[in-house]
Structure formats: structure tokens, C-alpha cells
Structure 1
Amino acid sequence: MKILHTADWHIGKKLHKHELSKDFDLFIEWLCTCIQEKGVDLLLISGDVFDLANPSSEARKQYYKALLQLRNLNCKIILTGGNHDSPAMLDAPGEILRELEMHVIGSLRDTIEECIIPIKGSSGKIELVVVALPYLRDADLRSAADGNTYEDRLEAIRMGIQNTFLGAAEVCKTQFPDIPALAMGHLYAAGVETSESERDIQIGNQAAFQASQFGEFFDYIALGHIHKPQKVNGLVPTYYSGSPIPLSFSERKDEKRVLILDTEESWIPESIPVPVFRKLLKLTGNLNELQNKLSELINNSMLNNLIELEMIEEHYDATKLYELDKLIQNFDNPGFEIVKSRVNFKNKVTGASELYAGAPQLEDLKPKEVFLELLANHEYETDTNREILGAFDELMEELQQQETANEL
């Protein structure tokens, strides 16, 4: 059986207010061709299908259109929810999609058996069992009796994840003996490389899950959440497929890919690069250097390339700020768009205008970064500091869940 592993589609994503819908359409067209050429039997999508819990009507339309395109290839599909997804929204059409051989699991089910999907081969016999686990939220993993200290909460989360995977493994051993088993998950594993576009989860990622805790029963573990494709050092083959398109400028150098397994040959996947539909360019330098770099750009992409500018100057100069603004307004190079700019003066002065020009804008900061700045103004003991940070991260997680519930 041939299996294709992908994740983190983030349908509806905007990059500095720039729509990435065309990027996703091109990816799906390429994916359909890839599935046909490689003879893929089963498609796994490990979470974060949407970028927002309450996606726009355009994003929902794009999602269902993509599923129909893929369904026309006679390829079975298993899709799980991620931390960006609304479990209720994904689960709503579940029974209809199941009739089309599409299994969508947005939330953890009441019993682990409901997350276990047997896959039949062409002979009609079960050839593979898939444990399709969505993003495990704090409420899924620990109870009020799990302890009150920061470390207690972290350990409860780690053990909750471990027990969920090991419990599923036991069910597979009992109900499907001698059948290969594969697990899907959406979480943060210890030791992986992240990018700017991954949202903090599970107490600020400090509850990082050790891959060895997955155990050694599963033949392969298909992970989502981390956008940089990479292998995880576990007891069995464990991989993040990564996002198929760049979702932030921090991902501009990543080689986006999907992973294909041929279970008759190996459980080590083959990496298939996704074509580059547009480039994300970060140009830095002084005003003259930026002018030269912008004038030398050559377009060879299907979509407009997006540019982030950073002007770096030794001393504050209001004239150069004006010139940079004029440079951006007058920029007209077909195939390129400047979507963001910032200024960095190395030798700062204490004048108000200098402070305003050199400081990061509030829209560029994450809530946690603002909180850390405020926390730095107070002198707390180390343990107290950690407790405060832990409480903040839990509040952010609860707020996200409440927003999801209110939007539905």
C-alpha cells in the first residue's frame, strides 16, 4: 500500500494581509498529479487544515473543492484536526464524508476505538490500521486532580499524550493482531526546529513531548504542527511532513515536501519536493543597497513573489525614512510585491522620534512577547516567574478555545 503524508495546509492563511489561496490551489493541483503518478492509495492530513477556527466561506469552499478533487482519484483520505482547527466544524459533515471514504476526526472521541480506522486493500482484507489522533487539547489530557504546580501540569500533559498513544496501541494489538499500524498526531515533539508561524500550544510548548514516549508499537507516526519538514528521533519512524507552502518569511528557505511510504518496501518515507509557486524574499541593507537589490530582481515564479524589506542604517535620519517610504510607493516590478518593511538604526538616541522609528510596531509582536516585556519590569523569584508564565500560557489556550466555541 502506498501512503502520502501531508499536514498544516492552513487554508485561508494570509501573509501580511496577502491572500495565499492561489498557492493552495496550485498545491492541490500538483498533489492530485503526484497521487496519480505515484499510485497512492491513502492520503493522511495531520491537522491544521484551516488557519482559523472560524474560516471564511471562501476558505470552506476551497476545502471542500480540494476534497472532491482528491476523492475523484479513488484515494482514501484520513484527516485530523489541529490546534488551529475547530473540532466541531470539522466533525459536522463527518458521516457524509465517511460515505465517500473520507474519515475526518476533528476532536478526540469518547472512546479510543472510534479513532482507529482499518484500511482494506484491493483484496478486501484489512492491510493497515490507522490511529487518527487529532490535536489533544489540555482538557483532553488532564483533570483537576492532576496537581496545582507548574511542573505538575506539564507532566500531566506529557503523560496524557503518552497514555493516549499507548492506549491506542493496546487496542490495535488486541483487535487487529499482526496488522501493521500507523499513528497520526498533531503536537510539539522535543528537539524539533520551529518557525514564526507556529502558534504556541500546551503551556507554551514547554510540555514538549519526548518521541520515545510514543513507544515502539507503531510502524510509522505521521505528525503535524511543525512547519519545517523533519525527522524526529523516536523508537519508530516518526516524521513531520511540514506545511506544503511557506506560511511566514521564516520558512522562506525550507524545502517544502510531502512524504510517501510504500509499506511493501519500507516504513522510511520518500521525500517528494513540492514545487515553489512563489518566493518569499527578505532584503536587508542600507537605503542604497535596498535600491540596488530591488532593481536587480528577476521573476521566474508562477505567482507574485513577496518581499520583506529591512533598512539598516548607522544613525537616525528622517530623510532616509522618507526616501524608503517613497521607494516602496514607487516600486513597480512585475512579479514582485513589497508586503512589509521595517527600519533598524544601529546607533539609537533617546529622542522621541528616534525611539518611535526604531521600535517594533505592536502589530509585529505576539501577546506573549508583550507579556514578557511587562514581566521583565518586575523582580520575581525564578519559581514565581515560571508559575506566572505557566498561568499566562494556560489563559491564552483557554481564550483560544473560548473564541472557537463563540465563533461556532
Structure 2
Amino acid sequence: MKILHTADWHIGKKLHKHELAPDFDLFIDWLCQTISAREVELLLISGDVFDLANPSSEARKQYYRALMKLRKLDCKIILTGGNHDSPAMLNAPREILKELDMHVVGGLPEDLADTLIPIQNESGQNEMVIAAIPFLRDADLRSAAEGETYAERVEAVQKGIENTFHQVADLCKTHYPNVPALAMGHLFAAGMSTSESERDIQIGNLAAFEATHFGDYFRYIALGHIHKPQQVKALVPTFYSGSPIPLSFSEYADKKRVLILDTEKGYEPESIAIPSFRQLLKISGNLEALQFKLSELENSRALDTLIELILKEESYDANKILGFDQLVTEFQKPGFEIVKHRTDFTHKIQGASALYNQHTQLQDLKPKEVFEELISRHEYDTETQKEILAAFDELLEEVQSDDKTAADA
């Protein structure tokens, strides 16, 4: 049997207010082509189907459109909930989807046997069983006891994860003896490399689960939650497929993929690269370097390239800030969009209290005296310094006028 493992779709995700819906649509089209070309019979989606627990109507429509496209391929689908998903929302159409050979386990059921989904061959015999374990919430894993320490709570969560997987393994042995079993999971395994788009799981990263505690019963464990594709050090083949599209600028260099198992050959998966539909760029340098790098850009992707622009300068300079803001505002190049920009100064501005020695009290100084001391630390020419002081006087007068008006009211 050929099985495809993916996870962390995050439908409805926005990258700095920029919609990633077109990226997901292109991924689904590619996924359908891959399933058809590789004759995949089973699709595993290991959690975080949506980016928000209460997704928008557009995100829900995109989800159902994706399922209908996949359904046309006569491929069985098993989908579990992640920490971003609402179990109730995912489970709502479960009975209808089941009739279409799509199995959804949004949250941990009361009866763990309900996580077991048998896969039958053409003769109607059980060929395999999938333990579809969703994201395990704190309430699923332990009962809160008054007086527990933080360390004890973390240990209880970790032990709860271990017990859940072991109990499900025992159920597989009981209900489906001598049938290969695979497991799905959505959690943070110890030692994994993460990105800024991931939210901490359980009680922070200290609750990272030691993957050897999964045991050695399952032939393969298909994980979700970590967006960077990677293998987990465990007793059986255990992998994060990673997210199919970049979800943050920290993922700009990740090689996105899906994993395909051919059980006739074994349970080590083959990594299939997903085409890059959109490029995320981090561009940094001083003002002159940024201007040059932006002018040299060439787009070779189907979708607009999104840019994070970082101004790096030795010292704070109001003129450079003004020039940087102007560069961002006026940037117009087909196929490119600056969606995030920030400044990074090697020598940061001191706080007002740090401008004077410890014997000087800030409350004894006038605002203009503090400002004059601040700009004296920078190498402005005389004309620029006059313009800055004039602008400060104008702002100060406006603030004092507003304060007076408020006091007279």
C-alpha cells in the first residue's frame, strides 16, 4: 500500500496580513497530481488543518473544496485535529465525510478504540490499522491536583502522552492482531528544530515528549506540529512531514515536502519535494545596500515574492530612518511586496535616564534639555541639527497646548 503523510496545512493563515490562500490552492492541485501519479491509496493529515480554532467562512470553503478535489482520486483520507483546530468544528461533518471514505478525529474520543481506523484490501480483509491520535490537550492527559508543582505538571503531561500511545497500541494488538499498525500524532518531540510560526505545545517546550517513549509497536509514526520537515530519533521510523507552504519568514529556507511510504518495500518514507509557489525573502543591509538589492530582484515564482526588509546601521540616524521609510513606501515592483520591515542599529539609543550620571534627576530637567543631550550623541551636521530641534520645538508646543486646553476644560 502507498501512503502519503502531510500535516500543518493551516488553512486561513495570513503572513503579516497577506493572504496565503492562493499558496494552499496551488499545493492542493500539486498534491492531487502527486497522489494520482504515485497511485497513493491512503492520505494521512496529522493536525493543524486550520490556522484558527474558529476559521473564517472562506477558510472553511477552501477546506471542503480541497477535500472534494482529493475525493475524486479514490484515495482514503484520515485527518486528525491539531492544537490550532477546534475538535467540535472538525468533528461536526464527520458522519457525512465518513460516507465519502474520509475519517476525521478532531479530538481525543472518550473510547480510545474510536481512534482505530482499519484499512481493508479489495477482498475486505484488514490490511492495516491506523491509530489516528489527535493533539492531546491537558485535560486529556491528567486531572489537575491542588498543590502540584510545575515540574510535576510537566511530568504528568509527558506521562499522559506516553500512556495514551501505549494504550492505543494495546488496543491495536487486541482488536487487530497480526495486522501492521501505524500511528498519527500532533505534538512537540524533544530536540526538534522549530520556527517562529509555531506555538508552544502543552506547558511550553519543557513538555517536549521523548520520542523513544512511543515504544516499538507501530511500524511508522506520522507526526504534525513542527513546520520544519525532519526525522525524530525514536525506536521506529518517526517523521514530521512539515508544513506544505512557508508560514513565516523563519521558514524561508525550508525545503517543503510530503512523505510517501510504500509498505511493500518497508516503512522508511520517501521525501517528495513540493514546488516553491512563492518565495519569501529576508533582505538586510544599510540603506544603500537595500536600495541596490531591491533594484536587482527578479521573480520566477507563480505568486508574488514577499519581502522582510531589515535596515542595519551602526548608529541611530533620523535621516536614515526617514530614507528607509520612504524606500518602503515608494517601493513598487511587479511580482514583489514588502510585508514586513524593521530597523537594527548596532549602537542602540540609550534610554533618557542613561544619558546622565546617577546624580542627575530627570524630573529636574526640562524636556528640551533631555532632547538636546540625546542628539548631541549623534554626528549631525549643523543644518540638520537645527531642523531636528525646530521639529522638536513644534511638537513640544503642540503637546503643551493640548495639555493646557485639557486643563482649562
Name the TM-score, length of structure 2 as normaliser. 0.85
- Take 1:194 and 1:351, find their aligned partners in 2: how far apart are those partners? 33
Shift of 1:146: 8.6
Alignment identity in percent?
67
Shift of 1:328: 1.0
Q: After TM superposition, list the pairs within 5 Å mapping 1:114-193 onto structure 2.
A: 114-145=114-145, 148-193=148-193
- Take 1:33 and 1:161, find their aligned partners in 2: how far apart are those partners? 36
Is the contact made by 1:146 and 1:152 (CA closer than 8 Å) also made in structure 2? no
Shift of 1:351: 5.6
Match of 1:33 in 2: 33
Q: Which moved more, 1:8-17 or 1:321-330?
A: 321-330
Match of 1:223 in 2: 223
Shift of 1:145: 3.9
Is the contact made by 1:261 and 1:269 (CA closer than 8 Å) also made in structure 2? yes
Confirm or deny that 1:265 pairs with 2:265.
Answer: yes
Tell me the C-alpha RMSD between the 2 structures. 1.3
Shift of 1:198: 0.5
Match of 1:201 in 2: 201
Match of 1:4 in 2: 4
- Take 2:146 and 2:42, find their aligned partners in 1: how far apart are those partners? 38
Match of 1:382 in 2: none
Summarize deviations over 1:308-340 as a string: whole Å, max 9, x none: 000011111111111111111111111110001
- Take 1:315 and 1:233, find their aligned partners in 2: how far apart are those partners? 45
Summarize deviations over 1:208-253 as a string: whole Å, max 9, x none: 1011110000000000000000000000000000000000000000
- Take 2:146 and 2:303, find their aligned partners in 1: how far apart are those partners? 50
Give the AA of the match of 2:194: T
Shift of 1:174: 1.2
SS across alignment from 2:197:
coil
Is the contact made by 1:6 and 1:258 (CA closer than 8 Å) also made in structure 2? yes
- Take 1:316 and 1:242, find their aligned partners in 2: how far apart are those partners? 39
Q: 5+ unaligned residues in a row in structure 1: which ranges?
A: 356-408
- Take 2:12 and 2:255, find their aligned partners in 1: how far apart are those partners? 21
- Take 2:242 and 2:33, find their aligned partners in 1: how far apart are those partners? 19
Shift of 1:350: 2.2
Match of 1:323 in 2: 323
Shift of 1:122: 2.2
Confirm or deny that 1:294 pairs with 2:294.
Answer: yes
- Take 1:11 and 1:164, find their aligned partners in 2: how far apart are those partners? 28
SS across alignment from 2:314:
strand
- Take 1:87 and 1:283, find their aligned partners in 2: how far apart are those partners? 39
Summarize deviations over 1:230-289 as a string: whole Å, max 9, x none: 000000000000000000000000000000000111100000000000100000100000
Q: 5+ unaligned residues in a row in structure 2: which ranges?
A: 356-409
- Take 1:291 and 1:220, find their aligned partners in 2: how far apart are those partners? 50
Summarize deviations over 1:154-182 as a string: whole Å, max 9, x none: 11001100010000100111111110000
Number of positions where the alignment pairs a residue of Structure 1 with one of Structure 2: 354
SS across alignment from 1:218:
coil
Summarize deviations over 1:39-69 as a string: whole Å, max 9, x none: 0000000000000000000000000000000
Match of 1:376 in 2: none
Is the contact made by 1:78 and 1:102 (CA closer than 8 Å) also made in structure 2? yes
Shift of 1:349: 3.0
Match of 1:99 in 2: 99
Is the contact made by 1:146 and 1:156 (CA closer than 8 Å) also made in structure 2? no
Shift of 1:205: 1.8
- Take 1:146 and 1:270, find their aligned partners in 2: how far apart are those partners? 47
- Take 1:256 and 1:158, find their aligned partners in 2: how far apart are those partners? 29
Give the AA of the match of 2:127: E
Match of 1:361 in 2: none
Change (3 A) 1:147 1:129: farther
Name the TM-score, length of structure 1 as normaliser. 0.85
Shift of 1:193: 0.5
Q: After TM superposition, list the pairs within 5 Å mapping 1:39-118 onto structure 2.
A: 39-118=39-118
- Take 1:83 and 1:312, find their aligned partners in 2: how far apart are those partners? 36
Match of 1:304 in 2: 304
- Take 1:349 and 1:149, find their aligned partners in 2: how far apart are those partners? 41
Is the contact made by 1:7 and 1:241 (CA closer than 8 Å) also made in structure 2? yes
- Take 1:349 and 1:6, find their aligned partners in 2: how far apart are those partners? 46
- Take 1:144 and 1:325, find their aligned partners in 2: how far apart are those partners? 51
- Take 2:350 and 2:226, find their aligned partners in 1: how far apart are those partners? 40
Give the AA of the match of 2:281: L
- Take 1:146 and 1:326, find their aligned partners in 2: how far apart are those partners? 57
Summarize deviations over 1:60-90 as a string: whole Å, max 9, x none: 0000000000001000000000000000000
SS across alignment from 1:11:
coil
